[in-house]
A and B are shown apart, each in its own frame.
Chain A
């Protein structure tokens, strides 16, 4: 059934749009937060293997209540299941997959992305220091990096001319998906590719602190 985008939460809208970027038969890493929801929006039978940093290759959905095993967990320590064909590797091997160019896609949350497509997502100096976990390795090593985040925080745009927070990597990410827009950072700047349902171009521009490049008519996200 096609979900009504007007009834979706902003975070589910982002997750649904990101899920469309996942190709069959690929190896994908999903970060904590909005990215974790992406797998809920993926059609069955695509042969995609999800991996976590903790060494699970072939992560499945949450098991029914009371049927979890504390030896099989996601990056947050919650019980998960494994799909048929799953495998387990140690942490060094897991980061070999990530850094060694074997990971097709990573989807990460973000605190800021700037006009050069650089991501900051691991610390707010003097306020909150969660640490980078696996994020620096993921952005360095994944073939494709998608940032899935809310467009603004406390009314402030998270897409900024230049990151004021410490960078996760100087690498330019490949795509930014928010509840308002889909944006592709490229050599010449941030290209606005799509707007969310019922969101005008003017609203996106007003909510974005960094300059956006707009070429002609901007299509609306198709959330099939």
Chain B
């Protein structure tokens, strides 16, 4: 059972220097209320694992603008000038990962696997310094698992067991990231009584979820 907490309570759980998985694709499916609370908290030196840098006022944008982030691991940063500027200034370290590799590395961590063998990135800068392993005559890059201290998840519905459902393209990285955070914090749009979510509709079982954010006032 999970008594719901506020976004500020959730932000207070995350210390300086923590690594954080943050879901969303161009700000869609991102837990915006926790992001804003964390940005307001003045946290420093976070490692953020998030697909894209979105835009300055969208998705992860507020955390970048508030200079909470020291390291960014993701696949696309082209539409956020703050990231480009902080990267050039040397205050933000950026590790670019092909998007399919990014999600599979997170899935590998969550599923207890030792990494991923992928053809993506072979023969490019991405392969630099990485092991190439041949399987059935084909070369693959060995990519390590990617896990974090926290996973911040955006859900459509949640019950007080922590069962989560998602909606349409706001699903994206959420069900995968919910497996790979040591502490999982879910921000649903609505919280419903236990038993209201049909078991078949649950995409993330509540046993994975540690904290649930109270619905917006």
Query: Is B148's CB within 8 Å of the partner chain A?
Result: no
Contacts A98-B100, A129-B77, A136-B98 known; A77 to B120 CB distance under 8 Å?
no
Closest Cβ–Cβ distance, residue B15 to chain A (whole Å):
28
**Interface secondary structure of A, over-half rule:** loop
A132 & B25 in contact (Cβ 8 Å cutoff): no
Q: Which size class do B's interface residues fall under?
A: 35 or more
| Closest residue on chain A to residue B23 by CB atoms | A91
Closest Cβ–Cβ distance, residue A120 to chain B (whole Å):
9
A134 & B98 in contact (Cβ 8 Å cutoff): yes
List chain A residues, Cβ under 8 A from B170.
Answer: 70-71
Closest Cβ–Cβ distance, residue B71 to chain A (whole Å):
15
List chain A residues, Cβ under 8 A from B156.
Answer: 71
Closest Cβ–Cβ distance, residue A5 to chain B (whole Å):
32
B96 & A73 in contact (Cβ 8 Å cutoff): no
List chain B residues, Cβ under 8 A from A76.
Answer: 26
| Closest residue on chain B to residue A125 by CB atoms | B125
List chain A residues, Cβ under 8 A from B96.
Answer: 129, 131-132
A sample of 30 inter-chain contacts (CB < 8 A) reads A52-B169, A70-B170, A71-B168, A71-B170, A73-B25, A73-B26, A73-B169, A75-B25, A82-B168, A88-B168, A91-B99, A91-B176, A92-B104, A92-B176, A95-B103, A95-B104, A98-B100, A99-B100, A129-B78, A131-B52, A131-B78, A132-B75, A132-B98, A132-B99, A134-B99, A136-B120, A136-B124, A140-B120, A166-B125, A167-B125
Chain A residues engaging chain B, CB cutoff 8 angstroms: 52-56, 69-73, 75-77, 82, 88-92, 95, 98-99, 128-137, 140-141, 166-170
Chain B residues engaging chain A, CB cutoff 8 angstroms: 25-29, 51-52, 54, 58, 74-79, 84, 87, 94, 96, 98-101, 103-104, 107, 118-126, 156, 166-176, 203
List 19 other contacts, CB 8 Å, given A77-B27, A131-B52: A56-B169, A71-B29, A71-B169, A88-B168, A92-B176, A95-B100, A95-B104, A129-B78, A130-B79, A132-B76, A132-B126, A133-B52, A133-B76, A134-B98, A134-B99, A136-B120, A136-B124, A137-B99, A170-B123
